Amino acid sequence: MSISVPALMGQLLIGLINGSFYALLSLGLAVIFGLLNIINFTHGAQYMLGAFVAWFLLNKAGLNYWWALAIVPFVLAAFGVVIERLMLKHLYKLDHLYGLLLTFGLALILEGVFTNQFGSAGLPYAMPEKLTGGYNLGFMFLPTYRAWVIVASLVICIATWFVIERTKLGSYLRAATENPSLVQAFGVNVPRMITLTYGFGAGLAGLAGVFAAPIYQVSPQMGSSLIIVVFAVVVIGGMGSIMGSILTGFGLGIIEGLTKYFYPEASSTVIFVIMAIVLVVRPQGLFGQR
């Protein structure tokens, strides 16, 4: 079998792009799960919402991509804080599964509302001018925007890892994950920390949505199909470690890209197959403890 380098590199690039989204979203899921013990099914809808808010800002308010990058995370974080205060707060004493069910319901509502308003067809989002074009690397063509997304999400992932693993705030967060009541006894406002964590996770999903808007169509269904893959990514990586989520996200994106080149029929299922294998060999996930 002869290997066409540009085609292979092209698929690898798509893999890396997908991987950046897997990493960003699974990172948010892991952070939320760590503190709230809730699997945020709304994560996909929040990602979709981020893309839509960016679209609104561009087409209704005349604010360009860079403004969207700055505003959207805060809009989504505020939305997340409202959800946490109004609803999730009441579920912490119950079985964790209720959190999953509630956020699933919220995802259905959001997806339904946007499908009603905009139909299933996607809306185009214009690529920001400064990031159009690309570089010819000799063996492949690298579009500037895609390079930007990969670099930006890497930076965000590593910054998040740094804040959680290497700063004082992060140490409070990790301590509260281990034993919230003890941390609260030391005078840390744990409920507020939980609220802000959920807001942070939602903001991260919204930011991923802004990144995605120029690449994919902005559509109501863009989140739900992605979130299921991200769940598989999270199962493969195990939610114990932040760096684990990042590495698994990018790694699986690359594997998916390679599969698209070598055996395209399996490209939509390869991550699920890997999940099944990992569960048989190492049920706690690649980076999971216990």
Partner 1 sequence: MAIEAKRTPDGEAPALASRDEIWEARYHRIGSIGLFAVLLVLPAVFYPVFLMKALCFALFACAFNLLIGYGGLLSFGHAMFLGMAGYISAYAAKVWGLTPELAIACGTASATLLGVVAGMIAIRRQGIYFAMITLALAQMVYFFCVQAPFTGGEDGIQAVPRGKLFGLLPLSNPLTMYYTVLAIFAGGFFLIHRIVHSPFGQVLKAIRDNEARAISLGYRTERYKLAAFVMSAALAGLAGATKAIVFQLASLTDVHWGMSGEVVLMTLVGGLGTVFGPVAGAFVLVAMESYLSQLGAWVTIVQGIIFVICVLAFRRGIVGELEAWLRRRRGNP
Which whole-number Å values give the CA distances from 261 to 6, 55, 97, 136, 151, in the listed order? 11, 32, 38, 21, 23
- Which CB, 45 or 75, lies closer to partner 1? 45
| Smallest gap from residue 178 Cβ to partner 1 (A) | 18
Sequence-separated (6 or more) residues with CB below 8 Å from residue 10:
140
| Smallest gap from residue 109 Cβ to partner 1 (A) | 3
Binding site for partner 1 (CB under 8 A): 33, 39, 87, 90-91, 94, 96-98, 100-102, 104-113, 115-116, 224, 228-229, 231-232, 234-235, 265, 268-269, 272-273, 275-276, 279-280, 283
- Which CB, 115 or 189, lies closer to partner 1? 115
Residue 136 backbone phi and psi in degrees, to 5: -95, 110
Find residue 108's DSSP bridge partners: none
- Which CB, 91 or 183, lies closer to partner 1? 91
- Which CB, 44 or 199, lies closer to partner 1? 44
- Which CB, 91 or 193, lies closer to partner 1? 91
| Smallest gap from residue 243 Cβ to partner 1 (A) | 20
DSSP label at residue 122: P
| Smallest gap from residue 97 Cβ to partner 1 (A) | 5
| Smallest gap from residue 108 Cβ to partner 1 (A) | 3
**Residue pair 198/88 in contact by the 8 Å Cβ criterion:** yes
| Smallest gap from residue 264 Cβ to partner 1 (A) | 10
DSSP string, 9-76: HHHHHHHHHHHHHHHHHHHHHHHHHHHH----TTHHHHHHHHHHHHHHHHHTS---HHHHHHHHHHHH
Distance CA 71, CA 132 (A): 22
Distance CA 89, CA 174 (A): 20
Listed in sequence order, the DSSP H helices in the chain are 5-36, 43-59, 65-86, 96-118, 144-166, 168-178, 180-185, 190-212, 222-237, 242-262, 270-281
| Smallest gap from residue 59 Cβ to partner 1 (A) | 22
Which whole-number Å values give the CA distances from 34 to 110, 239, 289, in the listed order? 25, 8, 13
- Which CB, 194 or 229, lies closer to partner 1? 229
| Smallest gap from residue 103 Cβ to partner 1 (A) | 9
- Which CB, 37 or 217, lies closer to partner 1? 37
- Which CB, 100 or 215, lies closer to partner 1? 100
